[in-house]
């Protein structure tokens, strides 16, 4: 594995981060995970904007431009033969010593690496509601940051990769999957939880909602009980690596998985954009 770090391409054995980096000490680091399709970074602009928003909230002063970041990605991809890759871009607060200063972070570390896609990743899953509840965001919104204890506890509860653990919020509403956003369909209407439940505003979530708008599929965002989701006819989960993954069931309830479903309609539309789209707002232009 090769790694981009602060302007250099390094072998896995050559790179390191200081133990005094506040990304390590206190979780002051944000990241984005995305896919390349034949070298194209799908929805990169949306990932970029979310990362910048999160870093601004943490007062991490990151000066790297979008074009510089894309150039770094090309340097990284040049080390690989296979161009369909999993990419992770991380920006840590940088080395600031022990203790919380409250000052802006002015020397962040930028780390990007790629890895081969999991060829055995399930194309369908079963949903299971977790005992572990979704924690509330530390700030005004949930960042994709280095505080994953809640997700780790959930993964320890559901270890089977064929099963997607589904969080409920502290108030008992459906929130999201361990590493995904959740959607379900009732009477041809697509439902997904509001981010007030503690769910991450996932990039693929945003894209699916945009697809629904373009395709004329009614979609609603709100706070829903597990019973509402369990009465659905179909359901799916989304993330930036696997895209749209149908659920064959939730709890003891079976879901419809066939050609005529809205889930498959969205899957087909999704695939039409993976090799050229940089941001969801380009659709329909």
- 89 pLDDT band, cuts 50/70/90, is very high
Mean pLDDT of 163-176: 97
Q: Contact at 8 Å (CB) between 79 and 9?
A: yes
Tokens 């993954």 belong to 245
Find the range with the poorest average confidence among 120-124, 166-170, 196-200, 265-269.
Answer: 120-124
pTM of the full structure: 0.95
Looking at residue 106, its pLDDT comes to 96
Q: Is domain 125-280 in CATH 3.30.390.30, yes or no?
A: no
Tokens 């996932």 belong to 202
Residue ranges, CATH 3.20.10.10, the chain? 125-280
Question: What's the rounded Cα separation, in Å, for the pair 4 and 89?
Answer: 9
pLDDT at 285 over 70: no
Q: Is domain 2-116 in CATH 3.30.470.10, yes or no?
A: yes
Residue ranges, CATH 3.30.470.10, the chain? 2-116
111-160 pLDDT, tens digit each: 999 999 998 899 999 999 999 999 999 889 999 999 999 999 999 999 99
pLDDT at 284 over 90: no
| Nearest Cα to Cα of residue 32 among 177, 201, 182, 185 | 201
């Amino acid at each position: 594995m090769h790694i981009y770090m602060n302007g250099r391409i390094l072998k896995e054995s050559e790179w390191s981060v200081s133990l005094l980096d506040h990304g390590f000490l206190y979780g002051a680091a944000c990241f984005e995970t995305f896919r390349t399709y034949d070298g194209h970074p799908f929805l990169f602009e949306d990932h970029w904007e979310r990362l910048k928003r999160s870093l601004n909230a943490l007062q991490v002063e990151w000066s790297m431009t979008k074009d510089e970041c894309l150039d770094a990605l090309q340097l990284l991809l040049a080390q690989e033969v296979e161009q369909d890759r999993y990419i992770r871009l991380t920006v840590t607060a940088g080395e600031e010593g022990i203790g919380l200063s409250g000052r802006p972070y002015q020397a962040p570390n930028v780390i990007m690496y790629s890895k081969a896609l999991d060829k055995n990743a399930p194309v369908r899953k079963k949903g299971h509601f977790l005992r572990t509840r979704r924690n509330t965001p530390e700030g005004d919104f949930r960042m994709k940051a280095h505080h994953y204890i809640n997700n780790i506890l959930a993964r320890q509860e559901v270890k089977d990769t064929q099963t997607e653990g589904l969080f409920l919020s502290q108030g008992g509403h459906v929130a999201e999957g361990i590493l995904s956003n959740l959607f379900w369909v009732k009477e041809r209407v697509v439902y997904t939880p509001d981010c007030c439940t503690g769910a991450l505003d996932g990039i693929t979530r945003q894209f699916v909602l945009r697809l629904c708008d373009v395709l004329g599929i009614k979609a609603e965002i709100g706070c829903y009980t597990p019973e509402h989701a369990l009465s659905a006819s179909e359901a799916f989960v989304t993330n930036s690596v696997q895209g749209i993954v149908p659920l064959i069931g939730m709890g003891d309830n079976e879901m419809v998985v066939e050609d005529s479903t809205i889930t498959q309609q969205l899957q087909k539309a999704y695939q039409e954009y993976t090799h050229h789209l940089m941001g969801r707002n380009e659709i329909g232009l």
